[in-house]
Structure 1
Amino acid sequence: MVFEGSSAAISHTGKVRSNNQDSGYSGANLFVVADGMGGHAGGDVASSLAIHRMEPLDQPYTSTEDAQASLQAAATTAAGDLIRAAKDRPELAGLGTTLSAIIMVDDFAVIGHIGDSRIYLYRDDALTQITADHTFVQRLVDSGRITPEEARYHPRRSVLMRVLSDMDADPELDMFVMHTQPGDRWLLCSDGLSGVVDEAHILKAMRMGMAPGRTADNLLKQALDGGAPDNVTIVLVEVGGQHAMHSGTATIVGSASNPANVTVPPVRAPRGNWLHPVRQAANEPSHFEPAPEYLEELIEEDRRRAKRRRIGWIAGMLVVIAMLVFAAFAAYSWTQTRYFVGADEDSVVIYQGVQQNIGPITLSTPLRDTDILLANLPPYQRDSVERTITARSFADAEAIVTRLQAGADRVTGETPLPTPLPTPSPTPTEDAG
């Protein structure tokens, strides 16, 4: 049965690289993305050979088992092609490619995958990554040593653990079958898209409900706006849905759209360009499959990086703690330059510090008990003392206490009375006689 749905394929060199090592295929039943590696020419050849080996699989299948067997056989044949290409043309040694493919069989998707290109499924307003990256950093994520967000910027994120290459005649693909339903959207892409555009923005583009071609253009624009340091290839497949099925020949994009016999440019000594160091580096291989001893070095390097990260984290925490302690000490020292007049259980007291407390921490201490009883104060003064009276200085606090003492003396009647003037003695009169 021929798959009923619509699809689109698009590939772009990106903003940094000078050639496109990606390839993509969108047909009647078959959909593939391949991201080549192996230098300026090796990647072109590898992804092109893989796509052309996959192309005959674009036909109806009677069962998912047949489709799986055909997909594995084509991948093995493609690996043999890469081995022969490297043998016949030594300048291609080390070439390889990722491969992510879907064969639609009735209501099922037969999936084959190796490398770090990805397949996503958009269903019920949710985006799910279906394939797992065969990369060094993904292994670190799976083991819990780094987070997925750290993996996006890890310096070794392009190191592939599994890939179609000239070093393995029997490649191990992840093979599985998933049920499809009308409205599903399957996105196959190289890491030129997934490495730049995060899943939240991919989901937003899917939600817009545009036709596959326009959605692919939207995603490509986002990758280009994000700098597109690598080639970008997108194949988008819609199952049933509102968009009419596109009839006609298959769409091949990227390096596979050129003649199969890719011309290898002559090897030239690299010329440094201090104005464009990024462009020069971008023309070097973006992926490679490491030898076992190199992996050991990477693992050891990652251990050292993790140790440095822990040391840096601890040092940062110590600095933050020291700053907090210093700030707390400075704040406490400032509080001890303040004074206020308040009350203890029954008398007026001069306090050093401020009235507020921080949890169980008291920011004031009694400095002098004045022996003025609260009960002896006029009501308005007693209320002020109980609510505390702020003083500008210790001398100001003593002046407040003096006024309170005067108020207490008036209440208790102990205010000294004015001293009466002495009564003048009568003046003796002179005897007239």
Structure 2
Amino acid sequence: MAKRTLGAAVSHVGKVRSNNQDSGFAGAQLFVVADGMGGHAGGDVASAIAVNRIAETDNQYYASPQDAEFALQSALVAANQLLAETVFEHPELTGMGTTVSALIRVGDSMAIAHIGDSRIYLLREGELSQVTADHTFVQRLVDSGRITPEEAAVHPRRSVLMRVLGDIDAAPEIDTSILGTAPGDRWMLCSDGLSSYVTEERIHQIMSEGGSPSEVADRLVKEALDHGAPDNVTVIIADIDPADAPAEPDVAVTVGAAASPLEFDPEAGRRLRLPSLLLHPIKTTSVARETHLEADADDYLDTLIAEDRKRASRRRLTWLISISLVILAVVIAAILGYQWTQTRYYVGVNDDRVAIYQGVQQTIGPIPLSSVFQNTDVLVEDLPSFYKSRVERTINAESVTDAFAIVTNLERNLLPGSGE
């Protein structure tokens, strides 16, 4: 079987965003996904610059997977430099950045480069595995054992990135690796617009279904949209040596922001004068963005961990106060309810005599809600069967006075000859 990688790329703006800050590329050997950040003014520019630069490594001959791995790493470093230069010339883009996940096939191997929280998955013989690790704050918390993966999925800082390409770091740390691949493997690259809103079980199910790479990519994007998908969604599928591959060669596909001309103010950089540059040097620290925040300093991580601990303490305090209030409400309700029961009276049997009870006939578990208020001299056996039956079933009274009146009536209806 001829070695061939059949790929497809799909990108959607999502249901909330006004522009697509994702970019993707599916070529002959190279597959890349990038998720830009920096707001409306910079995210799309960052991902487009990165993907267009990295796409230059496609259709090149690599003598070994190690050569391809080095080429990918070099392309990401070059893209990072391009982003920094663009920010220098256009300071209105300060703080823009992008995640990148990319792979190149060389024979039976895949060279991989990754930074950020976009992901690469591999489906092999029915088993789905996540190949890349997220460079996020919550992933560090998971790796250090501070929180569980389930807690990470709903953590308020789950969109905080610790590593990206951009003007944040002149020498970003990029993860690279080489993995084997085999006929029948299905690789998937995606932005967090998919992985944050579709469960891994559902991703596994869709990727395992039949269909071409384009059909599978479409189904995954649709699944994200069906789950609300407020973020941009980009999915790339690459099938290894598929048996039903078409005879015609593949055409490289670019999607998302990289598929359109870059749009930003070309005059903004020229308006920057040397005095203003000296007084206000271009920032290279982390800045807040629409859904991401980048940083790579230990003190920032410590600050976020401290914030997380404070948040957990506040959450525990809130739960403690809430539980205490619920318990207090239950106790007050119980006290008021018991006090009400003590305003009620009824006539019943105590041993073999008629008695007036205070309270109600019910019990709470082993605790009775009534007690004998006063015993009488009326023997139950001296009552006619009708009255005897009523007393044994208890007779409700409107008040203590009414209860005494009931007893007086019973005394008037004693059996002849009784009470003597």
Distance 1:267 1:243, change over 3 A: farther
Find the structure with the greater CA-based Rg. 1
> Per-residue CA shift, 1:302-333, capped at 9, x if unaligned?
44433433333333223222222222223222
> Per-residue CA shift, 1:315-362, capped at 9, x if unaligned?
322322222222222322232233333334443332222222222332
Distance 1:291 1:108, change over 3 A: closer
Q: Distance in 2 between matches of 1:304 and 1:154?
A: 14
Q: Which runs of 5+ in 1 are unaligned?
A: 270-282, 417-433
Higher mean C-alpha deviation, range 82-91 or range 29-38: 82-91
- What SS does the aligned partner of 1:348 have? strand
- What SS does the aligned partner of 1:79 have? helix
Q: Distance in 2 between matches of 1:336 and 1:389?
A: 16
> Per-residue CA shift, 1:29-51, capped at 9, x if unaligned?
43221112345564344323432
- What SS does the aligned partner of 2:161 have? coil
The answer to whether the aligner puts 1:361 opposite 2:367 as a matched pair is: yes
Q: Distance in 1 between matches of 2:327 and 2:77?
A: 58
1:321 matched residue in structure 2: 327
Distance 1:139 1:382, change over 3 A: farther
Amino acid at match of 2:364: I
Higher mean C-alpha deviation, range 3-12 or range 171-180: 171-180
Amino acid at match of 2:295: P
1:422 matched residue in structure 2: none
- What SS does the aligned partner of 2:120 have? strand
1:253 matched residue in structure 2: 255
Q: Distance in 2 between matches of 1:371 and 1:142?
A: 80
2:43 matched residue in structure 1: 43
Aligned Cα RMSD in Å? 4.4
**Across the two proteins, how many residue pairs are aligned to each other?**
400
Q: Distance in 2 between matches of 1:350 and 1:179?
A: 89
> Per-residue CA shift, 1:271-312, capped at 9, x if unaligned?
xxxxxxxxxxxx966434236355555444444433433333
- What SS does the aligned partner of 1:98 have? strand
Residues 57-96 of structure 1: pairs in structure 2 closer than 5 A: 68-86=69-87, 92-96=93-97
> Per-residue CA shift, 1:389-424, capped at 9, x if unaligned?
4444334433443455566x428x3267xxxxxxxx
TM-score (norm 1): 0.71
Q: Distance in 2 between matches of 1:239 and 1:328?
A: 69
Distance 1:94 1:17, change over 3 A: same
| Contact 1:40-1:284 at 8 Å conserved across structures | no
Distance 1:241 1:87, change over 3 A: same
Amino acid at match of 1:171: P
The answer to whether the aligner puts 1:289 opposite 2:297 as a matched pair is: no
Residues 21-420 of structure 1: pairs in structure 2 closer than 5 A: 21-38=21-38, 40=40, 42-51=42-51, 52-53=53-54, 55-56=56-57, 68-86=69-87, 92-104=93-105, 111-120=112-121, 129-140=130-141, 156-175=157-176, 185-197=186-198, 202=203, 209=210, 211-221=212-222, 223-224=224-225, 228-238=229-239, 244=245, 247-258=249-260, 264-267=265-268, 286-290=291-295, 292=297, 294-374=300-380, 376=382, 384-402=390-408, 404-405=410-411, 409-410=414-415, 413-414=417-418
| Contact 1:3-1:105 at 8 Å conserved across structures | no
| Contact 2:24-2:236 at 8 Å conserved across structures | yes
Distance 1:333 1:63, change over 3 A: farther
Amino acid at match of 1:339: Y
Q: Distance in 1 between matches of 2:68 and 2:359?
A: 82
1:419 matched residue in structure 2: none
| Contact 1:28-1:59 at 8 Å conserved across structures | no
- What SS does the aligned partner of 1:35 have? strand
- What SS does the aligned partner of 2:251 have? coil
1:426 matched residue in structure 2: none
Higher mean C-alpha deviation, range 334-343 or range 11-20: 11-20
Amino acid at match of 1:173: I
- The offset of 1:218, in angstroms, is 4.1
2:276 matched residue in structure 1: none
| Contact 2:22-2:34 at 8 Å conserved across structures | yes
Amino acid at match of 1:343: V
Q: Distance in 1 between matches of 2:142 and 2:344?
A: 55
Q: Distance in 2 between matches of 1:234 and 1:376?
A: 91
| Contact 2:193-2:233 at 8 Å conserved across structures | yes
Q: Which runs of 5+ in 2 are unaligned?
A: 272-287
| Contact 1:2-1:60 at 8 Å conserved across structures | no
